[in-house]
Structure 1
Amino acid sequence: MTRTHTTPAAPASTSAPASTSTDQTVVRRPKPRWLLGLGPLVLIAVLLGLFSLLNGPGLSRLGQGVPPKEEVAVEDVRLTPGQIIITVRNEGPDPVAIAQVNVSDYYAAFTQTTETMAPLQTSTITVSYHWVDGDPYEIALVTSIGGKIPAAIDAAALSPERDGSFFGLMALLGVYVGVIPVALGMLWMPFVRRSSAAWVRGLLGVTVGLLAFLTFDATLEAFDLVAGTSAFGGPLVVILGALLSYLVLEATDAWMRRHQDLHTTGEPAALSPRRLALLIAVGIGLHNLGEGLAIGSAYAVGSLALGASLIIGFAIHNTTEGLAIVTPMARTRPSLARLAVLGLIAGAPAVLGALIGSTVYQPTLGAFLLGLGAGAVGQVAVKLLPMLKDPEGKTFTPLTAGGIVAGLAVMFGTGLLVVA
Structure 2
Amino acid sequence: MTRTDIPETTTQGGTALRRPKPRWLLGLGPLVLIAVLLGLFSLLNGPGLSRLGQGIPPKEEVAVEGIRLTPGQIILTVRNEGPDPVAIAQVNVSDYYAAFTQTRDTMAPMEASTITVSYNWVDGDPYELALVTSVGGKITAGIDAASLSPERDSSFFGLMALLGIYVGVIPVAMGMLWMPFVRRSSAAWVRGLIGFTIGLLAFLTFDATLEAFGLVSGNASFGGPLVVILGAVIAYLMLEAADAWMRGHRNVLTTGEPAALAPGTLALLIAIGIGMHNLGEGLAIGSAYAVGSLALGASLIVGFAVHNTTEGLAIVTPLARERPPFGRLALLGLIAGAPAVLGSLIGATVYQPTLAAFLLGLGAGAVGQVAIKLLPMLKDGTGRTLTPLTATGVILGIAMMFATGLLVQA
How would you bin the TM-score normalised by the shorter chain? over 0.9
Give the one of 401, 404, 408 matched to 1:414. 404
1:79 corresponding residue in structure 2: 69
| Distance in structure 1 (CA, Å) of the matches to 2:327 and 2:384 | 35
Give the one of 199, 204, 216 matched to 2:194. 204
2:361 corresponding residue in structure 1: 371
| Distance in structure 2 (CA, Å) of the matches to 1:97 and 1:161 | 29
Q: Which runs of 5+ in 2 are unaligned?
A: 1-12
Contact 1:286 1:372 in 2 (8 A): yes
Q: In the TM superposition, what is the alpha-carbon distance from 1:104 to its structure 2 partner? A: 0.8
2:79 corresponding residue in structure 1: 89
2:5 corresponding residue in structure 1: none
Letter in 1 for 2:181: F
1:119 corresponding residue in structure 2: 109
The answer to whether structure 1 residue 164 and structure 2 residue 142 are counterparts is: no
Three-state SS of the structure 1 residue aligned to 2:218 is coil
| Distance in structure 1 (CA, Å) of the matches to 2:345 and 2:140 | 28
Q: Deviations over 1:360-389 (max 9, x none)?
A: 000000000000000000000000000000
Q: In the TM superposition, what is the alpha-carbon distance from 1:393 to its structure 2 partner? A: 0.4
Q: Deviations over 1:202-238 (max 9, x none)?
A: 0000000010000000000000000011111100000
Q: In the TM superposition, what is the alpha-carbon distance from 1:25 to its structure 2 partner? A: 5.5
Q: Deviations over 1:29-57 (max 9, x none)?
A: 33222222221111111111111111111
1:131 corresponding residue in structure 2: 121
Q: In the TM superposition, what is the alpha-carbon distance from 1:261 to its structure 2 partner? A: 2.5
Q: Deviations over 1:330-357 (max 9, x none)?
A: 0011110000000000000000000000
Contact 1:262 1:268 in 2 (8 A): no
Contact 1:262 1:269 in 2 (8 A): no
The answer to whether structure 1 residue 299 and structure 2 residue 289 are counterparts is: yes
Contact 1:84 1:127 in 2 (8 A): yes
Identity of aligned residues (%): 83
2:40 corresponding residue in structure 1: 50
| Distance in structure 1 (CA, Å) of the matches to 2:289 and 2:136 | 33
Q: Deviations over 1:176-199 (max 9, x none)?
A: 000000000000000000000000
Q: Deviations over 1:248-274 (max 9, x none)?
A: 110111011112333422133010000
With normalisation by structure 2, the TM-score equals 0.96
Contact 1:258 1:267 in 2 (8 A): no
2:335 corresponding residue in structure 1: 345
The answer to whether structure 1 residue 361 and structure 2 residue 362 are counterparts is: no
Three-state SS of the structure 2 residue aligned to 1:358 is helix
| Distance in structure 2 (CA, Å) of the matches to 1:185 and 1:273 | 18
| Distance in structure 2 (CA, Å) of the matches to 1:341 and 1:323 | 15
2:272 corresponding residue in structure 1: 282
Q: Deviations over 1:393-418 (max 9, x none)?
A: 00000000000000000000000000
| Distance in structure 1 (CA, Å) of the matches to 2:19 and 2:170 | 64
| Distance in structure 1 (CA, Å) of the matches to 2:408 and 2:20 | 64
Letter in 1 for 2:34: I
Question: What number of residue pairs does the alignment pair up?
Answer: 399
Three-state SS of the structure 1 residue aligned to 2:349 is coil
Pairing 1:93-242 to 2, within 5 Å after superposition = 93-242=83-232
Letter in 1 for 2:112: T
| Distance in structure 2 (CA, Å) of the matches to 1:30 and 1:337 | 59
| Distance in structure 1 (CA, Å) of the matches to 2:134 and 2:276 | 42
Three-state SS of the structure 2 residue aligned to 1:281 is helix
| Distance in structure 1 (CA, Å) of the matches to 2:266 and 2:22 | 42
| Distance in structure 2 (CA, Å) of the matches to 1:194 and 1:320 | 18
Q: Which runs of 5+ in 1 are unaligned?
A: 1-22
2:21 corresponding residue in structure 1: 31
Three-state SS of the structure 2 residue aligned to 1:321 is helix
The answer to whether structure 1 residue 392 and structure 2 residue 382 are counterparts is: yes
Q: In the TM superposition, what is the alpha-carbon distance from 1:27 to its structure 2 partner? A: 5.3
| Distance in structure 1 (CA, Å) of the matches to 2:278 and 2:378 | 26
Q: In the TM superposition, what is the alpha-carbon distance from 1:122 to its structure 2 partner? A: 0.3
Contact 1:77 1:84 in 2 (8 A): yes
Q: In the TM superposition, what is the alpha-carbon distance from 1:66 to its structure 2 partner? A: 1.0
| Distance in structure 2 (CA, Å) of the matches to 1:275 and 1:30 | 48
Q: Structure 1 residues 25, 259: CA separation in 2 closer, same or farther (over 3 Å shift)?
A: farther
User: What value does the CA root-mean-square deviation take over the aligned residues?
Assistant: 1.2
Letter in 2 for 1:288: N
Give the one of 301, 307, 317 matched to 1:327. 317
Three-state SS of the structure 1 residue aligned to 2:87 is strand
Q: In the TM superposition, what is the alpha-carbon distance from 1:24 to its structure 2 partner? A: 6.3
| Distance in structure 2 (CA, Å) of the matches to 1:65 and 1:370 | 42
Looking at CA atoms only, which structure, 1 or 2, has the larger radius of gyration?
Answer: 1
| Distance in structure 1 (CA, Å) of the matches to 2:400 and 2:118 | 48
| Distance in structure 2 (CA, Å) of the matches to 1:24 and 1:185 | 81
Q: In the TM superposition, what is the alpha-carbon distance from 1:64 to its structure 2 partner? A: 1.2
| Distance in structure 2 (CA, Å) of the matches to 1:304 and 1:33 | 58
Q: In the TM superposition, what is the alpha-carbon distance from 1:321 to its structure 2 partner? A: 0.1
1:13 corresponding residue in structure 2: none
With normalisation by structure 1, the TM-score equals 0.93
1:256 corresponding residue in structure 2: 246
1:40 corresponding residue in structure 2: 30
